[in-house]
Amino acid sequence: MKSINIYTDGGCSNNQSSENHGGWGAILEYNGHKKELYGSKKNTTNNQMEIQAVIEALKSLKRHDIHINIFSDSGYVIDCFNKKWYLNWEKNGWKTSSKKPVENRGLWEELIALVRKLESVNFYRMKGHLNVGKQAEINTWYEKFKKWNGDHFTMEDFLYVVDMNNRADELANVGISEIK
């Protein structure tokens, strides 16, 4: 089965302050073609932009009957799906295990609905903002990447994912620059 690879990142300038600028970036890759997306929002959070990046990428899909691989440096996004947090949130009336309301519920509901439309999706976690010129750092994070996602990824695969994540980060920063 052919697949679409999606690489996402989100960020927020002055995160946690009352006046901030958020941006998100996404790259969709299918059959040798790439599509880049980005956007921005005022007075948001880094986590909201990480979720928004995945939402916007999935909303841009023309097909849902194809395998999707999502790569993100957001443990918040990846763990939600890989650890099935959302199932407990829904079961518990959108409360966390500590009985607090789930933050960003509206975004989560939108994202979960989009994911459920897909025939097949995998979420892969990675470390963001890696410098491929630092070999010791790359080797360490490659091992962590395999631990998180499985041994089937080669170093070449990993380096490509790093490049795509760095590009998604650049796109998020374009969004931030345009809204300032």
Residue 177 Cα distances to 50, 68, 108, 154, angstroms: 17, 30, 26, 35
Which of 156, 168, 149 is closest to 34 using CA atoms? 168
Quick check: 160 pLDDT over 70? yes
pLDDT of res. 136: 81
pLDDT of res. 30: 95
| pLDDT tens digit sequence for 136-154 | 888 999 999 999 999 999 9
| pLDDT tens digit sequence for 11-47 | 998 877 778 999 999 999 999 999 999 999 999 999 9
Q: What is the mean pLDDT of residues 57-78?
A: 95
72 Rama class: left (phi>0) / alpha (psi -120 to 50) / beta: beta
Confidence label for 57 from pLDDT (cuts 50, 70 and 90): very high
pLDDT of res. 45: 92
Domain that holds residue 10: 3-179
| pLDDT tens digit sequence for 95-105 | 998 999 999 99
Number of domains in the chain: 1
Confidence label for 157 from pLDDT (cuts 50, 70 and 90): very high
| pLDDT tens digit sequence for 166-176 | 999 999 999 99
CATH code at position 13? 3.30.420.10
Residue 24 contacts residue 9 (beta carbons within 8 Å)? yes
